[in-house]
Amino acid sequence: MKKLFLIYPLLLHFSSLLFSQNKSDSIRVGLIKNYYQLAIKFKEGKALSMNYDSAFNYFSKAAALGDPQSIYAVAYMFYKGLGCKQNYDTAAQLFSKGAALGKDNSLYFYGLCWRNGYGRPKNEDSARYYLQKSADLGYRQAIMELESKVAENSNDSAAKVLLTKLDNAAIPDKTMPNHFTKIQPRLPSKDIIAGDYNGWLIQYDWSGKYIIQIKKLFLNLKYSDKQLTGKWIENDSDTAKINGVIVEDSVVFNKTSYGRTDHYSPSIKIKYNFQNAKLNLLQAGDSIFMAGDVDMFSPIRGEPSKPMFVVLARSGLKNLDSSFFKNLALSAYPNPFINTLTVQFNLIKAGAVRIELLNIDGSLIYQNDAGVLQKGTYTIPISGLAIAKGMYLIKLVFEREDATIKVIKQ
């Protein structure tokens, strides 16, 4: 009886600790559930306005409490750069944790990291190991990926060859960018945007470091009363009817959508809504060059598309005196230049002339209003150019028409 009297307080103490532990676990589970549900609402835009920053914040709170599904969700956000700075290394580390816990979705994405070289060195054996583990759990995307002969990031040599050949006045660099970089848009002449363009749609991975797909692109544009209409055709198959308006230097689309295939949906077209396009539109001789970023959003996936870049050109200007450009003979020398540059051109008729020097994002550096010049050949020097090394644009404005050439500062 005496022993029982001594043990009884200990039993009460351990019972109290156990009750406290159970209560603590219950609170933790409740917090995880609340954080995760809030995150989903913000990510999907259901019940709450879509907000990736808030979604990432609440997923992170739940993940910090040890929830495997939330650990996967945070990794997913890092993988695509939703609500946070895109980072494959961090994503791969977190997917690894989820994979160790046997999560089918983490196993799948960790396999993708190994297969594409996203945050892990490319290794097909490791990729198939994790993809197979995910597939064994019935994860459909893992099964489809195992059936695919090539990875999303296959580093197609044909794409690299194409990029070395693409170079025109609309691209804000000396050569075609090997990684995705947001450009400063410039649409200096809205009255010449209409026409038929041919070129390429280049899609990058989520980081913008790797080109994962290149498609031929045909674009027909009509412009009237600030309304932009036309057709967008990829590889002669994926077609969209364009409807939008030009706002400053961007095209904002209205009710423009189409279905497009990709690596993860090769046979079923996924709907994408066009949002806006930030474009550089430049005129060189009798050709127009267009390049820029295109933003799209998939309502089915509830996410933006991977970064996209278009490179387009058309020849034969409409509604302009093409003989003027044919005989303009606009040039600048020496090119490359050091501090002094001479612009030479030929006028086939009298008119007001203005010469501009622009940096590649379209910002004005120098301007010379030459006034009304008569028919003839002119050379106009530009001196004292204390500017940084790089590429610049010489623009000759004649009445309502203009022509542009590239020059290099050494």
- For residues 184 and 276, membership in a common domain is answered with yes
Residue segments in the chain with a per-residue pLDDT below the cut of 50: 1-5, 165-176, 317-322
Residue 189's pLDDT is what? Answer: 54
Residue 276's pLDDT is what? Answer: 86
Residue 408's pLDDT is what? Answer: 79
- For residues 179 and 310, membership in a common domain is answered with yes
Residue 15's pLDDT is what? Answer: 56
- For residues 66 and 204, membership in a common domain is answered with no
6 assigned to some structural domain = no
- For residues 193 and 293, membership in a common domain is answered with yes
Residue 173's pLDDT is what? Answer: 44
Residues 297 and 325: their CA atoms lie apart, in Å, by 40
Residue 25's pLDDT is what? Answer: 78
132 assigned to some structural domain = yes
* Tokens 């038929």 belong to residue: 196
CATH of the domain at 36: 1.25.40.10
Residues 125 and 49: their CA atoms lie apart, in Å, by 42
- For residues 121 and 207, membership in a common domain is answered with no
User: In the beta sheet, which residues pair with residue 397?
Assistant: 354, 402
Residue 58's pLDDT is what? Answer: 95
Domain that holds residue 338: 322-409
- For residues 203 and 305, membership in a common domain is answered with yes
**261-287: b (≥16 Cβ within 10 Å) or e:** bbbeeeeeebebbbbbbbbbbbbbbbb
CATH of the domain at 269: 2.40.128
Residue 170's pLDDT is what? Answer: 43
Residue 293's pLDDT is what? Answer: 86
Residue 373's pLDDT is what? Answer: 87
- Our count of domains for the chain comes to 3
Q: List the Cα angle 260/262/265 in 5-degree steps.
A: 95
Residue 342's pLDDT is what? Answer: 87
- For residues 195 and 126, membership in a common domain is answered with no
Residue 168's pLDDT is what? Answer: 41
Residue 9's pLDDT is what? Answer: 56
- For residues 163 and 259, membership in a common domain is answered with yes
Residue 167's pLDDT is what? Answer: 44
48 assigned to some structural domain = yes
- For residues 371 and 229, membership in a common domain is answered with no
- For residues 223 and 332, membership in a common domain is answered with no
- For residues 249 and 215, membership in a common domain is answered with yes
- For residues 69 and 121, membership in a common domain is answered with yes
Q: List the Cα angle 45/49/54 in 5-degree steps.
A: 90
Instruction: Return the structure tokens found at 223.
Output: 């412009």
Among residues 315, 346, 381, the one where a domain terminates is: 315
Rounded to two decimals, what is the model's pTM?
A: 0.69
Among residues 299, 315, 331, the one where a domain terminates is: 315
Residues 285 and 34: their CA atoms lie apart, in Å, by 62
CATH of the domain at 384: 2.60.40.1930
Q: Is 176 helix (H, G, I), strand (E, B) or coil?
A: coil
